[in-house]
Amino acid sequence: MIKKRPRLVVTTEPNDIMQPIEIVNMNVEKPHHPWDVVCDRSSVLGSKFYLKGDESRRDLVCDSHQHRFDNEVLCFHHWGEYVELMRIRALYRKYKKLRLFCWCAPKRCHTETYKKWLEAHI
């Protein structure tokens, strides 16, 4: 007589699901959870490029930030931004959620660069 093996049932607990990374405007809400990270110029993740009061420069500023990130931060891991990204990635893995705070959202923002990288490297 052949015994059947029991079926393996895999369940995903709600706490095991990674939530999408959010970009939150600090004019609307202030960071208050351990998975909230400030990304404005008061932090190492602040953009090095300025709008100079001209909204027409937003794409140029965000594209410049992305280029700098791709060509400097990721190539030379000693940069403070890279170390901070590793810390943030660990937070995301631990809490399964992450909120990046800046002053731009919902407009295009340099934090989109970090969000995209973190989602691809989790």
Tell me which of 76 and 51 has the higher pLDDT.
51
Beta-strand (E) ranges in the chain? 22-25, 36-38, 99-102
Asked whether residue 88 is domain-assigned, the answer is yes
Asked whether residue 34 is domain-assigned, the answer is yes
Per-residue pLDDT reduced to its tens digit, 57-113: 999 999 999 999 988 887 777 578 888 999 999 999 999 999 999 999 999 999 999
pLDDT given for residue 11 in this prediction: 47
**Does residue 3 register a pLDDT over 90?**
no
C-beta separation of 61 from 55 below 8 A: no
User: How many Å apart are CA 37 and CA 84, to the nearest integer?
Assistant: 10
Asked whether residue 74 is domain-assigned, the answer is yes
Asked whether residue 29 is domain-assigned, the answer is yes
Per-residue pLDDT reduced to its tens digit, 30-48: 999 999 999 999 999 999 9
Q: What is the pTM of this model?
A: 0.84
Asked whether residue 77 is domain-assigned, the answer is yes
Asked whether residue 3 is domain-assigned, the answer is no
C-beta separation of 47 from 61 below 8 A: yes
pLDDT given for residue 73 in this prediction: 83
Asked whether residue 27 is domain-assigned, the answer is yes
| CA nearest neighbour of 18 among 85, 112, 91 | 91
User: How many Å apart are CA 82 and CA 122, to the nearest integer?
Assistant: 14
| CA nearest neighbour of 92 among 121, 68, 50 | 121
Domain of residue 20 covers 16-120
Structurally, the chain folds into a number of domains equal to: 1
Asked whether residue 7 is domain-assigned, the answer is no
